[in-house]
Chain A
């Protein structure tokens, strides 16, 4: 038989294996380079060095550099009291809101994954709305909806049903943290192997009992993770909170007010407390969470059978939807009304001409997008190797340390992070404002990319890569031909996430910037009245931001699908 045995094969290789085109030659060079252990080592080390020295250390060191300012505030008891209550409120709100989100979000996630209803797809995409709309837009929408006369207040005969303050902040935080819980839990429930539920069912357990004793305990890590994400998001948010806070202050609002008033010491004080406290809380929940047991180990068969009945499920779903639509979706989308009005009443023409406040607006939009683009590119290039290191456990025990450290930028309230980075890059290294903003945004979005990428890589079998390597594929070719095609959707969605996070960001931006204004920060100024604008101006500005974000998302998606 004339077959492709190894011997015949070798002749083929020596005779024909010459790359011809330029790109082939280029890949050949890269292939050879990636086979070289030193090159591999250097590229991985570079990415880790970048993470440690440009992201992690600055945000810790920055605040320590001004440690001397920490104590000054003690001399002013009044400021001190305000600072203390602001910090306390930050944590109270974050904790309450995340707990409520978990209670309300879980039934919705369950409905999306398990009901088999034809509405699931619509509900699923609706749940993402508060996630896609920039938080600054949400803030203004909530303000209009709950506390201005054009909202629902007049329906109840009030001037302002819920005036700006702690309650409105809570409602806002509840809404924008909600999709985090739903997203994570929908994903987890989809991956969950139903065989366990079937097993419990054949043993006589009612659906409610199964969820309580089998499914949720097995999904505990995901429950803890989603709670922490919601917690961190609430702790971090600045721009929208400033809009709806009124006289109320939580941590980020206090820092913004202190910065506006030029009070450096209170700023450093609150920032450092927020940084270290949130890291401490985050890691202790991360460690303790999985050891917690759900309460009620006993089973009440009759009660739980009633709770599993069709009527009970219907009642539960209805309640979930009332909360979801009334507290999350309606207030979030309310901004559409004045935005549409603004298109009609001539504001659009002023905006396009760049009249009045609008000249600054277009500058800000450009700035936002420029920063977003640079940040995305930097994160993809330098985050990917770290994601691979984490997913493939390449560093042994060091991997888990790296894994934890990657979480830090997301854990720290972004405004506190901004204060620290400002001290580090601006005050100490006198970096230009633009580049300080780029670095701050890189730090804030870094975790998102590395996390989503490493999860995607973990999802594909390592054996596939191993086989490819015994088939003669170099590491870079394995990535190019196997890993990348199988994870490209995660890569693009990770990149999109980075981009939108960066464009939406307010906390760190407010802390770092002096003269430059990104679009959402400018909008915060408009709402707070520091720059005189009309309601139509604000609504239209927000409309532009949302529409442009959608346009970018859509363009990227078309691009991906075109390549497929």
Chain B
């Protein structure tokens, strides 16, 4: 079974540690997204699995077999780089048949297989074109077809949608997932787009500076981010600095700047501790009228932008902190204009509390 296992893998380039003691397992048939900012080591991770770079430390296993010394040709993985690297001097069909031919399939049979794969990608009508004659979306499909035809069961996709238009990206990401699932393949997909990662993966691995920050289902990573970086990188959130003032059996009170108190359901932090309260933007409601509730804060709208499915507000609280909110357009048809006095509201259970980071909040959230 083609499962992938990395045990304590480290890779250095000179003084830079690209991958730092990474341990992870990817099961047969799983669609995993590796998510992280530029320079977080995502591509290196893929190349390590493909055998294109060798780990300095640690062990890589594919299908239960240690493959540290196995060359890329024999790992059963296929690497699809960001710019696809289609062979420019070969026609589409030759590109796709390249894999089978290299593996010793007879010519005729190889071309039959290539044609079949192209048909599946609905590209058989372009078989005799050269790559540069195709649109970005088609090139991406050819790259996938080439990978699939080689018989690899593990797809290593490096930003497979990165070179495409936003609109096309939206459509193709679901098609990509369906294809992988229909064929029963394993896919490791690298991206910096959290929305893409959440939409298509079974599991997300968040990478930063070569280290895994968190791994889990999109639901878990989104709902229970393990640290402030993940909370910021995945989805929009507010970060409010404060100090825990009281703790009881059901949660705690946190005093923000200038004594604004918010209620959380966090039971762990002790009174006196510096903390950061994280509230997702879509959990914050902006209301014109006062309602009853615990975390009801007064403020003034400083920005109000229509973003399609939702409206994004910035509200300056009385202490100067700006809270951002995303209100679904289906729930609030009319935007509240700038400068209006409003209330912001969020539920105590939607406030996640983290210890104040030793290097400061800004450093912790930095997308590097």
By a CB distance below 8 angstroms, the chain B residues around A3 are 116-117, 120, 183
A12, A16, A472: the one contacting B102 at CB < 8 Å is: A472
Q: How far is the CB of B110 from chain A (nearest CB, A)?
A: 9
By a CB distance below 8 angstroms, the chain A residues around B116 are 3-4
The closest CB in chain A to the CB of B79 belongs to: A470
By a CB distance below 8 angstroms, the chain A residues around B150 are 470-472
> Contact: A13 with B105, CB < 8 Å?
yes
By a CB distance below 8 angstroms, the chain B residues around A472 are 73-74, 99, 102-103, 150-151
Cα A285 to Cα B311 with chains together (Å): 61
Q: Which of B52-92 contact A (CB under 8 A)?
A: 52, 71-81, 83, 85, 87-89
Q: How far is the CB of B116 from chain A (nearest CB, A)?
A: 6
Task: Point out which of A12, A461, A485 has the most chain B C-beta atoms below 10 A from its C-beta.
Answer: A12
Measured CB to CB, the residues of B under 8 A from A are 2, 47, 50-52, 71-81, 83, 85, 87-89, 98-100, 102-106, 109, 113, 116-117, 120, 146-153, 156, 182-185
> Contact: B153 with A5, CB < 8 Å?
yes
The closest CB in chain A to the CB of B154 belongs to: A6
Q: How far is the CB of A505 from chain B (nearest CB, A)?
A: 35
Q: A4-B113, A485-B89, A486-B88 are in contact. Are A463 and B83 (CB under 8 A)?
A: yes
1/0 contact string of A474-497 vs chain B (CB within 8 Å): 100100011001100000000000
> Contact: A470 with B98, CB < 8 Å?
no
> Contact: A466 with B79, CB < 8 Å?
yes
Cross-chain pair count, CB within 8 angstroms: 117
Residue A320 lies at the interface, judged by CB distance under 8 Å to chain B: no
The closest CB in chain A to the CB of B186 belongs to: A6
By a CB distance below 8 angstroms, the chain B residues around A292 are none
> Contact: A477 with B102, CB < 8 Å?
yes
By a CB distance below 8 angstroms, the chain A residues around B78 are 467, 470-471
Q: How far is the CB of A427 from chain B (nearest CB, A)?
A: 47
Residue A42 lies at the interface, judged by CB distance under 8 Å to chain B: no
Known: A3-B183, A9-B100, A28-B104. 7 other contacts (CB 8 A): A5-B185, A6-B2, A6-B185, A13-B151, A470-B152, A472-B73, A473-B98
Q: A4-B113, A470-B52, A471-B98 are in contact. Are A464 and B85 (CB under 8 A)?
A: yes
Cα A5 to Cα B148 with chains together (Å): 7
Q: How far is the CB of B229 from chain A (nearest CB, A)?
A: 29
By a CB distance below 8 angstroms, the chain A residues around B156 are 470
Q: A3-B120, A470-B79, A486-B89 are in contact. Are A10 and B105 (CB under 8 A)?
A: no
> Contact: B151 with A10, CB < 8 Å?
yes
> Contact: A461 with B104, CB < 8 Å?
no
26 A-B pairs with CB atoms under 8 Å apart are A3-B116, A4-B117, A4-B149, A5-B183, A6-B152, A6-B153, A12-B105, A12-B113, A16-B106, A17-B104, A461-B83, A463-B85, A468-B102, A469-B72, A470-B51, A470-B72, A470-B73, A470-B152, A471-B78, A471-B102, A471-B146, A471-B150, A472-B99, A472-B103, A472-B150, A486-B89
Cα A443 to Cα B347 with chains together (Å): 80
The closest CB in chain B to the CB of A485 belongs to: B89
Residue A35 lies at the interface, judged by CB distance under 8 Å to chain B: yes
The closest CB in chain B to the CB of A37 belongs to: B71
Cα A472 to Cα B72 with chains together (Å): 7
